Structure 1
Amino acid sequence: MSKEYVFTSDRLGFRTWEASDVIKMFEISSDPKVMQHFPSTQSKEYTANFIKKMQDQFNKNGFCYFAVEILETGHFIGFIGCCEQTYEIDFNPSVDIGWRLHKNFWGKGYATEGAKACLEYMFNVLKLKKIVSVATKENTPSIGVMKKIGMHKIKEFTHPLLRDFPEYQNCVLYELKS
C-alpha cells in the first residue's frame, strides 16, 4: 500500500484520520457488540467529532487514537493509540492507551500487536514516561490486552464520567512506565 503511516507494526499501519474514515468508524462504534462495555453506541455526528478531536490532538502532540489498517490489504479495522485525558480524577491529566476494532478482527492479536507498537512509539519516539489504560471491570478482553502489553493494575475506581451509568462506573486503572 502506498499510504503514509506514522509508524507500523508487523501487520498494521497507524495513520492520521481522513474524512472518509467517519463512515467506517461509525460502522464500528454503532455496533452494540463492539460497544458492550460502554453506556451507548455512537452516532455519526459523535464519530465525526471524535475524528476531528483526534486530528487536533495529533497536530498538537504527535499522537492520538490512530486510524489502523492491515498493511497487506489497506483495510481499515478501527483505532489503536493514545489520547490525553483530563477529566477530573486523581490520576489525570494522563495519556491513555486504548483500542476499538471492528468485531470481525477480534481474536487475531491485532489489539495487542498494535498497542505494543504504540507504546514503543510513545516511549521511544515521543519520550513519554507513563501511559495508563482504563476499562470497566467486566471488560476482560481489554484487561487481557493491558496485561499482555506489560501494564500493571494500579487500582479500581468509580469513573466520574460514568456516574449516571451504574453498570459501567466500576473501572480499573492500569499503568506502564518507560
Structure 2
Amino acid sequence: MTEILTPRLLLRRFTGDDLAPMAEINADPEVMRWIGDGSVQDLEQTAESIERWEEEWDDEGFGLFAVELLGSGELIGFSGLSVPEFLPELRHEVEISWRIGRPFWGQGYASEAAHAVLEFALQDRGLDRVVAIAHISNTASQNVMRKLGMVPERDTTDPRFGLPLRVHAIDLSEYQG
C-alpha cells in the first residue's frame, strides 16, 4: 500500500471509512465553488468519485491520496495525481490536484500535501512533468501552484461548462522540493 508521511499529514489510499467525511467536504458549496460547474456532490456521487480515483491507481499506477491529519486521523481531503480526461488537449499529461475541507483552509495543508505528491511523482513514479489546472479566478489554488514552483503555461476553456481555466506546469527535473 502506498503511503506518504509529511510532518503533519498521512497521504494514503482511500478506505470505506473515508466516504462520509469526503462526502461532507464535497457537499460544501465553498469547497466545490471552483470545481467543474461548482455543483456539490452527495454521498452517492462521492462514492462514485472515490471508486474512479481508486481505479486510476490500478490503471495508471498513480491516483488521488486521502489526506488525513497525523494527530487525529481525521480525513481533511485529498491530493494526488490523475490524467485530466475532462480536458482533451491535456489527456497526455499528468495533473496534480487537491481538495481540502474548509475547516482546514489557510493552514498550509494543501501545499504540504502537494509538495509530497510532487516528490512522489518525481522519485517514485519517474514523471518528468506535471500540470495543474484551476479556474482562472481560483487564486488560492494558483497560490499553491506557485509555491510548488509551477508556472502559468496557458489559458484554456473547460469544454464541459465553458469556464476559463489556467494551466500551470513544472518540469520535475527542475523541481527543488
**CA distance in structure 2 between the aligned counterparts of 1:20 and 1:69, rounded to whole angstroms:** 12
CA deviation profile, 1:29-65 (whole Å, cap 9, x unmatched): 1101111113211121111011001111112333211
Q: SS at the partner of 2:29?
A: coil
Normalised by the size of structure 1, how large is the TM-score? 0.90
Instruction: Using the TM superposition, give the Cα deviation of residue 5 of structure 1 relative to its aligned residue in structure 2, in angstroms.
Output: 5.6
Whether 2:20 is the aligned partner of 1:20: answer no
Shift of 1:93: 2.2
> Which residue pairs with 1:34 in the alignment?
31
* Runs (4+) off by over 6 Å: none
The answer to whether the 8 Å contact 1:87/1:93 transfers is no
Which of 164, 171, 174 aligns to 2:165? It is: 171
CA distance in structure 1 between the partners assigned to 2:4 and 2:59 by the alignment: 17
More helix by share: 2
Distance 1:175 1:54, change over 3 A: same
CA apart distance, 1:140: 0.4
Identical counterparts, % of pairs: 34
Which shifted more, 52-61 or 147-156? Answer: 52-61
Query: Could you say what the CA RMSD is over the residues aligned between the two structures, in angstroms?
Result: 1.4
5+ residue gaps, structure 2: 173-177
Change (3 A) 1:75 1:151: same
Question: How many residue pairs get matched?
Answer: 170
Amino acid at match of 2:41: Q
**Equivalent pair of 1:85/1:92 in contact (CA under 8 Å):** yes
Match of 1:8 among 5, 11, 28: 5
Q: CA deviation at 1:11?
A: 1.0
